[in-house]
Chains A and B, each alone.
Chain A
């Protein structure tokens, strides 16, 4: 039996009278490759926010490796190994790419509690940051300010930071969003080659990405889980097509192409 890394039970969240997350159960096992799809406004990002701790649930629980983390803050969960990327890049735009990575590693290992020794004195951190950059082919951009990079490469930095946290669970919110089509392959290659031990959940609209990446798909509609299954099961499901894939009529053929 694969052990559950992330265990979400009965998660509910309302804003006033509006229920945005209804009774969601989700289990990610080690090495999971899960895609979360659903029509706009289904509450996919909200669910990720609830899992990472940006939002607190009205009821329900979130557990990591069997430990209940529902009461923990976002930062506390991040330190335990829950990493995410945002739909719109959240980077340190005024700092260099290398500094962005060093910060992620520094906070992870508690280096940032040190007020006295210079960052330059920790060669280990710098080397690890450069290793991460190398695996994403960003070394050439190491000393560039993030805001000087084209959006596609910024998106890669976003993913690099999440990876630098050495997460147990990685939540990617539309990693290819906003990236010009000439550069999406960079993102897709990275996503395809991620560490097999990490449990990964990816929110995506692009069905090409979904079918290439996912071993299992969860469909979210109006805040509740509509259905779950393998890519082929979901493709064949008439109701899913009606609710979601039917809106993306021109993509239906794309799924079959990569089958």
Chain B
């Protein structure tokens, strides 16, 4: 008896030390964290002619990082984060165009201050609420700022914007070159500083409190957390960072228009973050870079297919990869036993699966059938050479519809088998 008591005590002490160690060492820098920075520096040497693209990618990383603070960590769903990006962008633009002030670093500080102030004021009101109200108010904020800019297009330049904004040399010494080399290092430097700050916030007790608010607001209230104050604080910080990203945007493009406030901008940064994975600092890196690279290549081929792809990506992300690319990567690396077993079961289809497949194929056929009637072939030259008759067109569409729907269903079934063990919906 005594021996097993003692070994039980030892086991508990061991578990205790492991647990403590996990929390104590969690914030320490891991070697793998150097990777994205090394890659960024390598890109500088490897792709000297793609620096303007690199600049925009880094700026988007910063923008996505700011969104992650409120969305991934605090759980605030904002469809109008471009508002703060825009405020920062226009602060710099107006400083140069209307006040003749073009010193870069002080402009960044001013942009951060203006955007942060906007975030503080709007957040103070908006964050009293949850759910649809918050989504609507964040959306409305961005639109209102855009419309306000339109109202005074004499100041803002309207949708034509403020062109020809030239920045003074950095530190009075480094002048900006046409190819964006100095710009790139400048943006990278600012990003590194911002990232360090965000990283500290995320691992601090405040950052923990944010995740608590995201997970269960009721419990946070019950343990005495000043929830509203915490949310407004993080919203302000996030707005300031988004403002810096916007400021860098104006500085590197020498140009700013009201399109910075577009819903497209807010949606874009959200897609980037979802793609990379929310609530994980490096999700913003992966998501933004992957998105920008894909957009650069694919949207030139066909903007329509690009938009379709983004839509499909969002749906697939919600269904299969709610934790983004980084989450998928983690799953692969971890190689949990239950997942391996689940994977082995994956390829066996049961009777109800065949039923489901048939039903979905019929759905697809029905939609295709209707589409065949509705669609005006004037736009697409592909098929009209081969199928000019209406019945033929309808049948082909129905067939396509069935095949596409069935394939989606097969993929869905296969993957849901694999992740069956996971608790996906909190």
What residues of chain A have their CB less than 8 Å away from a CB belonging to chain B?
Answer: 52, 54, 73-79, 83-84, 86, 90-95, 98-99, 102-104, 106-108, 111-123, 125-127, 130, 134, 139-140, 142-143, 147, 161, 165
Indicate whether B348 reaches chain A with its CB closer than 8 angstroms: no
Contacts of B222 in A (CB 8 A): 52, 74, 78, 83-84, 86, 90
Contact status B223-A107, CB under 8 Å: yes
The segment out of B21-29, B126-134, B409-417 that lies at the interface is B21-29
Indicate whether B218 reaches chain A with its CB closer than 8 angstroms: yes
Extra A-B contacts (11), CB below 8 Å, given A75-B226, A92-B216 = A90-B218, A91-B219, A93-B215, A99-B208, A107-B209, A107-B220, A108-B223, A112-B208, A112-B209, A120-B203, A123-B24
Given A90-B218, A120-B26, do A103 and B209 touch, yes or no (CB 8 Å)?
yes
26 cross-chain CB contacts under 8 A: A73-B221, A75-B227, A84-B222, A86-B222, A90-B218, A94-B211, A98-B19, A99-B23, A103-B223, A104-B223, A111-B205, A112-B206, A113-B205, A114-B204, A115-B204, A116-B204, A118-B27, A118-B200, A119-B23, A119-B203, A123-B20, A126-B20, A126-B23, A139-B19, A142-B19, A161-B223
Indicate whether B212 reaches chain A with its CB closer than 8 angstroms: yes
Given A95-B211, A120-B27, do A114 and B205 touch, yes or no (CB 8 Å)?
yes
Contact status A90-B216, CB under 8 Å: yes
Contact status A118-B218, CB under 8 Å: no
Q: Looking at B16, B25, B223, which has the most chain A CB atoms within 10 Å of its CB?
A: B223
Contacts of B221 in A (CB 8 A): 54, 73-75, 78
Given A75-B225, A102-B23, do A142 and B200 touch, yes or no (CB 8 Å)?
no
Indicate whether B312 reaches chain A with its CB closer than 8 angstroms: no
- The 10 nearest A-B residue pairs measured at CB: A78-B224, A142-B19, A118-B27, A79-B224, A92-B215, A112-B209, A120-B24, A111-B205, A90-B219, A115-B206
Given A74-B221, A86-B218, A90-B222, do A95 and B16 touch, yes or no (CB 8 Å)?
no
Interface of A is mostly: helix
A139 to chain B, nearest CB (A): 5
Complex Cα distance A75/B230, Å? Answer: 13
Q: Looking at B25, B204, B222, B225, which has the most chain A CB atoms within 10 Å of its CB?
A: B222
Q: Which B-chain residue is minimally distant from A141 (CB atoms)?
A: B15
Contact status A122-B215, CB under 8 Å: no
What residues of chain B have their CB less than 8 Å away from a CB belonging to chain A?
Answer: 11-12, 15-16, 18-20, 22-28, 200-201, 203-209, 211-212, 215-216, 218-227, 230, 233, 423, 426
Contacts of A122 in B (CB 8 A): 205
Q: Which of B12, B24, B27, B212 contacts A140 (CB 8 A)?
A: B12
Q: Which A-chain residue is minimally distant from B18 (CB atoms)?
A: A143
Complex Cα distance A120/B21, Å? Answer: 9
Contacts of A140 in B (CB 8 A): 11-12, 15
Contact status A93-B224, CB under 8 Å: no
Complex Cα distance A106/B223, Å? Answer: 10
Q: Which of B16, B26, B204 contacts A134 (CB 8 A)?
A: B16
Given A92-B212, A92-B219, do A113 and B206 touch, yes or no (CB 8 Å)?
yes
Contact status B19-A130, CB under 8 Å: yes
Contact status A112-B20, CB under 8 Å: no
Q: Which of B16, B201, B208 contacts A103 (CB 8 A)?
A: B208
A241 to chain B, nearest CB (A): 35
Contacts of B218 in A (CB 8 A): 86, 90
B190 to chain A, nearest CB (A): 20
Q: Looking at B23, B25, B201, B205, which has the most chain A CB atoms within 10 Å of its CB?
A: B205
Contacts of A107 in B (CB 8 A): 209, 220, 223-225
Complex Cα distance A73/B224, Å? Answer: 9
Contacts of A94 in B (CB 8 A): 211, 215, 426
Contact status B224-A98, CB under 8 Å: no
Contact status A139-B16, CB under 8 Å: yes
Contact status B200-A139, CB under 8 Å: no
Contact status B224-A165, CB under 8 Å: yes
Given A116-B200, A120-B25, A122-B205, do A130 and B223 touch, yes or no (CB 8 Å)?
no
Complex Cα distance A86/B219, Å? Answer: 9
Complex Cα distance A117/B222, Å? Answer: 25
Q: Which A-chain residue is minimally distant from B227 (CB atoms)?
A: A75
Complex Cα distance A139/B28, Å? Answer: 24
Contacts of B24 in A (CB 8 A): 120-121, 123, 126
Complex Cα distance A76/B222, Å? Answer: 9
Contact status B25-A112, CB under 8 Å: no
Contacts of B28 in A (CB 8 A): 120
A67 to chain B, nearest CB (A): 16
